[in-house]
A = this chain, B = another copy of it.
Amino acid sequence: MNPGSPSSSRADLVEVLDQVHAHVRPLIGQGKVASYIPRLANVPIDRFGMAVATLEGEMITIGAADEPFSIQSISKVFTLTLALEALGADLWKRVGREPSGNAFNSLVQLERERGIPRNPLINAGAHVIADVILSSSPNAREDLLGFVRERADNATISMDEDVARSEREAGFRNIALANFVRSFNNLDNDVDAVLDFYFHQCALQMSCVDLARAFLFLANRGVCQRSGRAVINPDRAKRINALMMTCGTYDAAGEFAFRVGLPVKSGVGGGIVAVVPNAMAVVVWSPGLDGKGNSLVGAAALDRFTALTGLSVF
């Protein structure tokens, strides 16, 4: 395939993933594996997997694409989808839509903006989203699990209780944030219940293949690519993509937009998901993180992938 000319045929993509893998191989092992909980700390830093799911129904993979890992913050896109369905546009009274500038500012902004988190993809925002979901369903955790399993077409997906428990034990910063939001009356449920839900969503174990399939509706204007049914309406799908573009990678959103040019969401487990509107979902996993908490190899792989395919929204 010619670099620069968009293409998504199976053969082309197989070749692209080979080239991407060759390109990032020297980087594998660099960065640091998240170490604040044992389950994450014990993942070997040399793991690498990648999966591309196309709207035509193809799934192209390389490396450990079938190995489940802790999706962590990637789960925030799933819960945002559920909360938008539950509450609609009223959701935006409780959480903003602007990038947070940088990590340093998050608490300041929360204070200045009276407990309204900057966006739903930072931790405090995800706490509010969790609260909305808890208020909308008596079985919130099961609902989330069911939604994710259906999106990924994989009934074996589960939450790792060990991860959830460790997250709670090490989660002083999240406990601080949620109580701070609560002090501004922007949580309706018990803070512990909100955090319990949040720590469980972070503990979802999914593979690159699972995630690629599960995110495909966002590349398809909200429509399930298998059933043809709307998961969410097209406007909301577009808007979730917009939020991923401006807020999906912590303090590196500008950098990802600049280098990759696609809506993306990352997690400290080392996964990164990218959506190519009207075309495909691309997932990379490699647990070594860069200084901003994004997969170092994952970022390089996406950078290379878009350079080779010419796929970018710009």
| Residues of chain A having any CB pair with chain B under 8 Å | 4, 96-102, 104-105, 107-109, 111-112, 118-119, 172-173, 175-180, 182-183, 191, 234, 237-239, 241-243, 245-247, 251-255, 257-259, 261, 263, 277, 312-314
- Whether A252 contacts B98 by the Cβ 8 Å rule is yes
A-B pairs, 6 with minimum CB distance:
A101-B101, A98-B254, A313-B313, A172-B183, A241-B314, A176-B180
Measured CB to CB, the closest approach of chain B to A97, in angstroms, equals 4
Q: Which residue of B lies closest to A310 (CB)?
A: B234
Specify how many copies of this chain sit in the oligomer.
Answer: 4
Q: Which residue of B lies closest to A109 (CB)?
A: B101
- Whether B242 contacts A97 by the Cβ 8 Å rule is no
How far is it, in angstroms, between the C-alpha of A100 and the C-alpha of B314 when the chains are bound?
21
What are some 13 contacts across the A-B interface (CB < 8 A)?
A: A101-B109, A108-B108, A172-B179, A173-B179, A173-B180, A176-B183, A179-B179, A237-B314, A242-B254, A243-B254, A246-B257, A263-B314, A277-B314
Q: Which residue of B lies closest to A4 (CB)?
A: B234
- Residues of B with C-beta under 8 A to A100: 101
- Residues of B with C-beta under 8 A to A102: 98, 101, 109
Measured CB to CB, the closest approach of chain B to A123, in angstroms, equals 12
- Whether A99 contacts B176 by the Cβ 8 Å rule is no
- Whether B261 contacts A99 by the Cβ 8 Å rule is no
- Whether A97 contacts B243 by the Cβ 8 Å rule is no
How far is it, in angstroms, between the C-alpha of A108 and the C-alpha of B183 when the chains are bound?
17
- Residues of B with C-beta under 8 A to A254: 96-99, 119, 242-243, 246-247
- Whether B99 contacts A104 by the Cβ 8 Å rule is no
Given A101-B105, A239-B261, A241-B314, 11 other A-B contacts at CB below 8 A? A101-B102, A104-B112, A175-B175, A175-B176, A176-B177, A176-B180, A239-B259, A241-B261, A243-B254, A243-B257, A263-B314
